[in-house]
Amino acid sequence: MYIAIVIVALVAVTLILHFASPWWLTPLASNWSAIDTTIEISFWITGFVFVAVNLFLAWTVWRFRHNKNRRSHYEPENKKLEIWLTGLTSVGIIAMLTPGLITWANIVHVPDDALEIEAIGQQWQWTYRFPGEDGVLGAANARFVSNENRFGLDPSDPNSADDILVEHHRLHLPLDQPIKLVLRSNDVLHNFAVPQFRVKMDLVPGTQTYQWFTPTREGTFDVLCEELCGLAHYTMKGQVQVEPEEEFRNWLATYPTFSEVQSDSAVDLAVGETQYQTCAGCHNADGSGNEALNAPNLTRLDSRYMARQMRHYREGIRGTEREDEPGQLMVSIAQSTNVDTEPDLLAYIESLDDVDTAGTLTGDISNGQRLYGACAACHGSAAEGKVLLSAPALAGQSDLYLKRQLEHFSMGWRGKHPQDQFGTQMRLMTRTIHSPERLRDLLAYISTL
Ligand SMILES: [Cu+2]
């Protein structure tokens, strides 16, 4: 008897939670209202069956409850009932599958006037490629990927030269223009999804997949990697900004073509050396840093990482916190450095001999080694840094500096700004550290590398 009441109550609570839930589909921003309809049809059918079956169960429990004067009898076969049940189930399943099949046929059939764009997934970022004036994307393959050719384009394919490379986590798209998004992975499985567009698709290494949609609403939406299997896909966050055609064209014009990226590498180390005199006061003439001034060792850092940090200091992305005195100091330095000769300066710093700063913190090194397992994927097993993943070297760096940065990440002083894609990744990673003891163990281990 009680169990019947419990079942009815469960049905009632489920219905209330469903209809009063604040978690529902995000407002649609693409042409794919058909997906919403499909989801709703499935909900109505499964919801109706859920309610009907459970109420029937409750009724049965109540109606045939124990009674001394009644005896049950066994009926193994009932043809009529089975025909009815099979028939009704088939109708329900057909009603759920048909809208899905019709919608899928539209999803795989791309309109002829779609603008073709490539989205490249790699651990742990999204980048984008637009066909240049020829309207054709050149060939690409993960085996061409190198520090100089991070998109992995085939240099011998003439179609590659004018391709526009967008190495930024914010993709802009023109409003009301059908988009064919070709999806390519340079390493593992990923999954490109924008909840408001309602389309998502896996990226499979070694092959190309695609999705198409027409953005129908201006605004900025999150790009998520919804791949479950593997490490840290949740850190692959990006944005897509939908705007009128003209603003989109202006934005695209600020990005270089593949041939431009390949050719601008000439730097003048002598100019860099002169520029470096301003930095030497704190970072030391050999670049090894100065712990008394909180100035880190620069000798093992790659120039791409340093260029990003200088830009972040300059643009109010890093060192913004009033109490972050070392950060604020670098902000004023970065604002007064000459942007035109900065590539020369950073190339000069990169050319300095590696110098290692000795560790000062003690801790349980073997525990630190175990904890470092989570860091090695990005920073390298010897903490040498991985340029392709934008992760800097940690080996040889002052452990007091590393400690301060990790604390800043976890407090949100660094890596909180919406433009700080890689800082955000690192901020999410500091959640694996948990305690000051574990942090010390980790740093004691990094000092041994
Ligand atoms: Cu991913």
Q: What is the pLDDT of residue 110?
A: 94
Q: Are residues 99 and 6 in the same domain?
A: yes
122 forms beta bridges with 125
Q: Please check whether residue 72 lies inside any domain of the structure.
A: no
Q: Are residues 237 and 344 in the same domain?
A: no
Of the three residues 323, 355, 387, the one that is the final residue of a domain is 355
**β-pairing, 190-194 with 199-203?**
antiparallel
Q: Is residue 371 part of a domain?
A: yes
Instruction: Tell whether 255 is covered by a domain.
Output: yes
User: What distance in Å separates the CA atoms of residue 10 and residue 276, rounded to the nearest whole number?
Assistant: 71
Q: Ligand 1: distance of its center to the CA of 229 in Å?
A: 9
Domain boundary among 355, 374, 402: 355
Q: How far is the CA of 169 from the centre of ligand 1 (A)?
A: 13
Q: Which two tokens stand for residue 83?
A: 């025909």
User: Could you tell me whether strands 125-130 and 164-166 are parallel, antiparallel, or unpaired per DSSP bridges?
Assistant: antiparallel
List the CATH number of the domain containing 233.
2.60.40.420
- In this structure, are 239 and 326 located in the same domain? no
Both 13 and 93 in one domain: the answer is yes
pLDDT at 265 over 70: no
Q: Does 73 reside within a domain?
A: no
Give me ligand 1 centre to Cα 70, in Å.
Answer: 62
Q: Extract the tokens encoding 12.
A: 């009632």
Residues 192 and 224 in one domain: yes
Tell me how far the alpha carbon of residue 23 lies from the centroid of ligand 1, in angstroms: 24
Whether residues 346 and 367 fall in one domain: no
Centre of ligand 1 from the C-alpha of residue 37, in Å:
28
Determine the average pLDDT of the residues in 417-446.
Answer: 87
- Cα of 422 vs centre of ligand 1, distance in Å, is 14
CA of 144 to the centre of ligand 1 (A): 20
- Interval between CA 371 and ligand 1 midpoint (Å): 22
In angstroms, what is the span from residue 190 Cα to ligand 1's centroid? 4
* Rounded Cα–Cα distance for residues 287 and 302 (Å): 13
Residue-wise pLDDT tens digits, 113-159: 999 999 999 888 899 999 988 888 888 888 888 877 888 888 888 88
Residue 320: CATH number of its domain? 1.10.760.10
Distance (angstroms) between ligand 1 centre and the Cα of 31 equals 25
Residue 399 in domain: yes
Element (H, E) at 337: none
- Residue 310's domain comprises 266-355
Question: For residues 325 and 330, what is the distance between their CA atoms, to the nearest angstrom?
Answer: 9
Three-state DSSP state, 280: helix
pLDDT tens digits, residue range 285-308? 999 988 888 999 999 999 889 999
Tell me the backbone φ, ψ of residue 270, rounded to 5 degrees. Answer: -65, -40
Q: pLDDT by residue (tens digit) across 334-383? A: 999 888 888 889 989 988 888 888 888 888 889 899 989 889 988 999 99
Taking the centre of ligand 1 as the mean of its atom positions, its distance from the CA of residue 243, in whole angstroms, is 26
Residue 299 in tokens: 């000798």
* Average confidence (pLDDT) over 397-407: 92
Q: Could you tell me if 233 and 157 lie in one domain?
A: yes
Query: What pLDDT sits at residue 217?
Result: 94
Q: How far apart are CA 63 and CA 411, in angstroms?
A: 61
> Is 247's pLDDT higher than 90?
yes
Q: Are 311 and 379 contained in the same domain?
A: no
| Sign of the dihedral defined by the CA atoms of residues 51, 54, 59, 60, in that order | positive
Question: What ranges in 21-138 are assigned the alpha helix state H?
Answer: 33-63, 79-108
Are 336 and 235 in the same domain? Answer: no
E-only strand ranges, 209-308: 209-213, 219-225, 238-243
- Give the max Cα distance, the chain: 105
Query: Which residues does 91 contact at the CB level (< 8 Å), separation at least 6?
Result: none
Residue 264 has pLDDT above 70, yes or no: no
Q: Work out how many domains the chain is built from and give that number.
A: 4
Q: How confident is the model at residue 419 (pLDDT cuts 50, 70, 90)?
A: confident
Q: How far apart are CA 169 and CA 45, in angstroms?
A: 40
Which amino acid is residue 88, in one-letter code? Answer: L
Q: Name the least confident of 100-104, 229-233, 412-416.
A: 229-233
Ligand 1 mean position to 74 CA, how many Å?
55
Q: Does 133 fall in a domain?
A: yes
Mean pLDDT for the chain overall:
90
Share of the chain above pLDDT 90, in %: 53
Q: How many CB atoms lie within 10 A of CB 444?
A: 21
Cα 198 to ligand 1 centroid, rounded to whole Å = 18
DSSP notation for 118-179: EEEEETTEEEEEE--TT--PPPB-GGG--SS-TT-B-TT-GGGTTPEEE-SSEEEEETT--E
- Give the pLDDT confidence score for residue 270 in this predicted structure: 86
Strand residues in 195-250 grouped as ranges (E) = 199-203, 209-213, 219-225, 238-243
pLDDT of 75: 85
**pLDDT surpassing 90 at residue 203:** yes
Q: Tell me, yes or no, whether 206 lies in a domain.
A: yes
* Residue 226 pLDDT exceeds 80: yes
- The reported pLDDT for the residue numbered 430 is 87
For residue 105, how far is its CA from the centre of ligand 1 (angstroms)? 26
pLDDT in tens, 44-74: 999 999 999 999 999 999 998 888 888 888 8
Which residue among 208, 242, 259 closes a domain?
Answer: 259
Q: Closest Cα to residue 190, out of 122, 249, 286? A: 122
Q: Are residues 246 and 134 in the same domain?
A: yes
**Å from CA of 423 to ligand 1 middle:** 17
CA–centroid distance, 388 to ligand 1, in Å, is 15
303 shares a domain with 210 = no
From CA 309, how far away is CA 345, in angstroms rounded?
A: 14
Task: Say if residue 253 is in the same domain as residue 297.
Answer: no
